[in-house]
């Protein structure tokens, strides 16, 4: 059984390039899917307080029988916890539900800049990391300006997880991440059923390599060092989504997928939205 290659984070932890997203699975579905995914070779599992399935994710982890230290468990917390003490309480609740002593990567789910505590939230994670309760510091949906505020306070996050797929390639955000050694993680890497998988350019590459359209898009992510966390409830899709490390897209093929960038593809604006 092949595992995904990993990328080293600033903190020293190693993050698999491909993992399982768990939104919008409920506890029961998450337990079944997480167990199945780990058996298929997944080691990175992504959940959040807001998904309300951390208990199920933890159950799936235990059922898998794979030792905790071989897994990379990520969760995220909501806006009401954006203070140093609040982050600690959020961590304790999540760790309890997951049934773990530490979390590999803890992310601020949305910056909520209007609340003015997007820096404090990251400082809360840094304090947990100092105690070994968290192995890497993460943000999600932070724009470069939000990250700059964090960096100005003396912390560089390990990971920023953003909405990213060939229709939303987020070039400016990625350049900022690269400049600071922040790893980019793609949420909704398959484009959330927006028709991306039916695009002729995707289908042509799939046919040329004997891959599925989803594999082409996931390969586009990981070949560029973007960590992808597709969700699927179907066993055969779980397996196919992880099986993208034996093919190589040509430079031309990667470039042709950039032509799918669309101004109409909605990107959730994290200055406006957040929970």
Tell me the C-alpha distance between 182 and 161, whole Å. Answer: 10
Stretch of 61-69, 96-104, 185-193, 252-260 contacting ligand A2P, by CB under 6 A = 185-193
| Residues assigned a catalytic role | 51
For the range 261-270, what are the long-range contacts, defined as Cβ-Cβ under 8 Å and sequence gap of 24 or more?
Answer: 261/166, 261/167, 261/168, 261/169, 262/167, 262/168, 265/167, 265/168, 265/191, 265/194, 267/163, 267/168, 267/170, 268/141, 268/163, 270/110, 270/111, 270/113, 270/141, 270/142, 270/143, 270/146
Contacts of ligand A2P in 212-231 (CB under 6 A): 212, 214, 230-231
Stretch of 46-54, 94-102, 111-119, 182-190 contacting ligand A2P, by CB under 6 A = 182-190
Told to check if 237 binds ligand A2P by CB under 6 A, we report: yes
Cβ distance to ligand A2P smaller for residue 21 or 157:
21
Told to check if 209 binds ligand A2P by CB under 6 A, we report: no
Tell me the C-alpha distance between 79 and 194, whole Å. Answer: 28
Cβ distance to ligand A2P smaller for residue 31 or 128:
31
Of 160, 167, 232, 270, the residue at the interface with ligand A2P (CB under 6 A) is 232
Told to check if 4 binds ligand A2P by CB under 6 A, we report: no
Told to check if 190 binds ligand A2P by CB under 6 A, we report: yes
Q: Is the dihedral of CA 143, 159, 72, 94 positive or negative?
A: negative
For the bound state, the minimum distance from the C-beta of residue 188 to ligand A2P, rounded and expressed in Å, comes to: 4
Helices (H), 153-250: 171-180, 200-209, 213-223, 235-242
Contact assessment for residue 78 and residue 87, using Cβ atoms and an 8 Å cutoff:
no
Told to check if 33 binds ligand A2P by CB under 6 A, we report: no
Of 189, 199, 242, 274, the residue at the interface with ligand A2P (CB under 6 A) is 189
Task: Using alpha carbons, select from 89, 69, 152 the residue that is nearest to residue 118.
Answer: 152
Tokens of 236: 């055969």
Contacts of ligand A2P in 94-133 (CB under 6 A): none
For the bound state, the minimum distance from the C-beta of residue 46 to ligand A2P, rounded and expressed in Å, comes to: 10
Told to check if 161 binds ligand A2P by CB under 6 A, we report: no
Cβ distance to ligand A2P smaller for residue 95 or 229:
229
Told to check if 19 binds ligand A2P by CB under 6 A, we report: no
Which residue is listed with tokens 């560029």?
A: 224
Told to check if 192 binds ligand A2P by CB under 6 A, we report: yes
Tell me the C-alpha distance between 196 and 202, whole Å. Answer: 8
Task: Using alpha carbons, select from 56, 135, 38, 132 the residue that is nearest to residue 94.
Answer: 56
Chain centroid to Cα 44, Å, comes to 9
Cβ distance to ligand A2P smaller for residue 152 or 246:
246
Cβ distance to ligand A2P smaller for residue 68 or 275:
275
Residues that bind ligand A2P in the complex, under the rule CB under 6 A: 21, 188-193, 197, 212, 214, 230-234, 237, 240-241
């Amino acid at each position: 059984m092949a595992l995904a290659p990993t990328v080293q984070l600033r903190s020293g932890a190693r993050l698999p390039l491909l993992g399982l997203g768990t939104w919008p699975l409920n506890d029961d579905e998450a337990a079944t899917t997480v167990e199945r995914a780990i058996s298929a070779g997944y080691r990175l599992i992504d959940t959040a307080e807001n998904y309300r399935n951390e208990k199920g994710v933890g159950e799936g982890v235990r059922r898998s029988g794979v030792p905790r230290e071989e897994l990379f468990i990520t969760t995220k917390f909501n806006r009401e916890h954006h203070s140093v003490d609040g982050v600690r309480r959020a961590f304790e609740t999540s760790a309890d539900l997951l049934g773990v002593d530490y979390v590999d990567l803890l992310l601020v789910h949305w910056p909520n800049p209007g609340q003015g505590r997007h820096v404090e939230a990251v400082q809360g994670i840094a304090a947990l990391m100092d105690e070994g309760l968290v192995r890497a510091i993460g943000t999600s949906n932070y724009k470069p300006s939000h990250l700059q505020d964090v960096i100005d306070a003396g912390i560089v996050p390990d990971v920023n997880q953003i909405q990213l797929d060939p229709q939303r390639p987020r070039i400016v955000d990625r350049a900022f991440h690269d400049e600071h050694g922040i790893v980019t993680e793609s949420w909704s890497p398959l484009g959330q059923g927006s028709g991306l998988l039916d695009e002729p350019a995707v289908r042509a590459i799939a046919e040329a390599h004997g891959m599925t359209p989803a594999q082409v898009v996931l390969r586009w992510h990981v070949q560029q060092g973007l960590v992808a966390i597709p969700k699927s409830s179907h066993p055969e899709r779980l397996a196919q989504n992880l099986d993208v490390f034996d093919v190589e897209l040509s430079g031309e093929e990667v470039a042709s997928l950039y032509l799918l960038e669309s101004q109409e593809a909605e990107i959730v604006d994290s200055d406006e939205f957040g929970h």
